[in-house]
Amino acid sequence: MELYQRTAHQLHEMLLRKEVTSREITESVLKRIEEVEGRVHAYVTRTPELALEQAAAADARIQKGNAGPLTGIPLAIKDVICTQGVRTTCGSHILDNFIPPYDATVVEKLKAAGAVFLGKANMDEFAMGSSTENSSFGPTHNPWDLERIPGGSSGGSAAAVAADECIASLGSDTGGSIRQPAACCGVVGIKPTYGRVSRYGLVAFASSLDQIGPFSKDVRDTAMVLNAISGHEPRDSTSMNLPVPDFTQALADDARGMVLGIPRESSGEGLDPEVSSAVQRAIEILKKLGAKTVEVSLPHSEYALAVYYIIAPCEASSNLARFDGVKYGFRAKGIQDLQDMYQETRRQGFGTEVKRRIMLGTYALSAGYYDAYYLKASRVRTLIRYDFARAFEKCDVIVMPTAPTPAFKLGEKVDDPLQMYLSDIFTIPCNLAGIPGLSLPCGFTREGLPIGLQILGNHFQEEKILRAAYAFEQNTEYHLKKAPLK
């Protein structure tokens, strides 16, 4: 097995035993990137020189016996997370040449852990999309089938892990943007509880929904990265000042005593039969491992999509007002006056989907419509949160599909925004409620495409999710199958 194919915990053990160096691991991954990146397009910006410098520093640290679980491990960072001195575009021409003067908190934490940074992963522009086709730098291709989407908006981060172009990566999840790509690409991805991981340095899309989380090749790696990036951050007013457990301690290879909630609303129109069958088989496996099941109801989840597409665009309309050509980023040329500069900068700098959502949000927030749209959506959001609270009185975790279908063809839904939005129908309620959710592989379609199982937990109950996910993973082999990309 090549070094680039291994998990972070395997490589950590090899580094501790001095069987390999971080430089050798990094060179192996960089070589893999050279081989397949032209077909996958997982990265917007690559930083091989920085990676080799950090690998050398990691090797020196290991020699001194000062290695943590991620020391010397090569990672990719979604291009919506600020990296000091390294271009951060958010997948948009409006930030084409933006180089942040500071690091996001998660980047600071990973640097402190001794991780190696390979570059910035491709994404839907400003994290708005479900397919990574909205990137101003071209789409990312799914390593399992290069004619299919990798999911979105964190498609580059998911595809990089699936294609072995990094060992693990960071993404962000506003309405499913970690879990849906994880399902499409056959990897593990977790959206932590809102407030568990600091958003400081994450370029905002919808501030009450955005959350950073990891992608990895297995559940143990996910727990390791989550350990590294979690914790309170005084610079982020939404960061919760709570103790962070060692998530790896929650991993157990059985599910004895766990109660799985099966939502009445998680099947129905639009759910692919192969996805439904794979999820049912996964539930049966968890039952054999000692879990019990109980039916739960999330009655207001049918409104989640509508609520999300009012709240998220409203927040985006406010957040993206700062991109106006005045202080940083792209500025249109040949302008007449200040008004002209605003209009032309935003017209030329933003893509179609971003403009669509800004206009939706601006309309919903305008005089006369605020109460009818934003206020009503906020009230229904509270009802969705109450639904989950009631469900978790009866169960430890909720189990359901991650996405209604496997990865679809590139270009298939570009001209039909509503069909594209429906890709996130099972993931959006989790963000509206602020609870944690994980996706892991639970099967494959007849065409060989991965299917994702979604496990949701109550606020700050990531340990229960990880335990159920690890138990399932250790008793199946879906996570061991590699994308057929040579």
SS3 labels along the chain: CCHHHCCHHHHHHHHHCCCCCHHHHHHHHHHHHHHHHHHHCCEEEECHHHHHHHHHHHHHHHHCCCCCCCCCCEEEEECCECECCECCCCCCHHHCCCCCCCCCHHHHHHHHCCCEEEEEECCCHHHCCCCCCCCCCCCCCECCECCECCCCCCHHHHHHHHCCCCCEEEEEECCCCCHHHHHHHCCEEEECCCCCECCCCECCCCCCCCEEEEEECCHHHHHHHHHHHECCCCCCCCCCCCCCCCHHHHCCCCCCCCEEEEEHHHCCCCCCHHHHHHHHHHHHHHHHCCCEEEEECCHHHHHHHHHHHHHHHHHHHHHHHHCCCCCCCCCCCCCCCHHHHHHHHHHHHCCHHHHHHHHHHHHHHCCCCCHHHHHHHHHHHHHHHHHHHHHCCCCCEEEEECCCCCCCECCCCCCCHHHHHHHHCCCHHHHHHCCCEEEEEEEECCCCCEEEEEEEECCCCHHHHHHHHHHHHHCCCHHHCCCCCC
Place of tokens 């206020």: 375
Tell me the average pLDDT of the chain: 97
Q: Tell me the whole-structure pTM to 2 decimals.
A: 0.97
Name the burial class of residue 246, with classes exposed (0-12), middle (13-18) and buried (19+) by CB atoms within 10 angstroms of its CB: exposed
| AA identity, residue 76 | A
Residues 134 and 150: beta-carbon distance below 8 Å: no
Residues 213 and 224: beta-carbon distance below 8 Å: no
Determine the angle formed by the axes of helices 273-288 and 462-474, rounding to 10 degrees. 90
At 328 the pLDDT is 87
CA atoms within 13 A on the CB side of 175: 30
- Partnered with residue 214 across adjacent β-strands are 170
Mean pLDDT, residues 295-318 = 97
pLDDT, tens digit (0-9, with 9 covering 90-100), for 259-269: 999 999 887 67
The confidence band for 42, taking pLDDT boundaries of 50, 70 and 90, is very high
The yes or no reply on domain 3-251 and CATH 3.30.300.20 is: no
The confidence band for 173, taking pLDDT boundaries of 50, 70 and 90, is very high
For the annotated catalytic residues, the residue numbers are: 78, 153, 177
At 304 the pLDDT is 97
The confidence band for 112, taking pLDDT boundaries of 50, 70 and 90, is very high
Name the residue ranges covered by the structural domains of the chain. Answer: 3-251
Angle at 56 between CA 50 and CA 58, to 5 degrees: 100
pLDDT, tens digit (0-9, with 9 covering 90-100), for 340-371: 999 999 999 999 999 999 999 999 999 889 99
Angle at 184 between CA 299 and CA 448, to 5 degrees: 120
At 317 the pLDDT is 97
Spatial separation of the C-alpha atoms in residues 122 and 154, rounded to whole Å: 7
Mean pLDDT, residues 118-128 = 98
Token reading at 80: 């919506």
Token reading at 5: 């194919």
Mean pLDDT, residues 462-469 = 98
Spatial separation of the C-alpha atoms in residues 122 and 129, rounded to whole Å: 12
Place of tokens 């999300």: 308
Residue 308 confidence (pLDDT) above 80: yes
pLDDT, tens digit (0-9, with 9 covering 90-100), for 203-262: 999 999 999 999 999 999 999 999 999 999 999 999 999 999 999 999 999 999 999 999
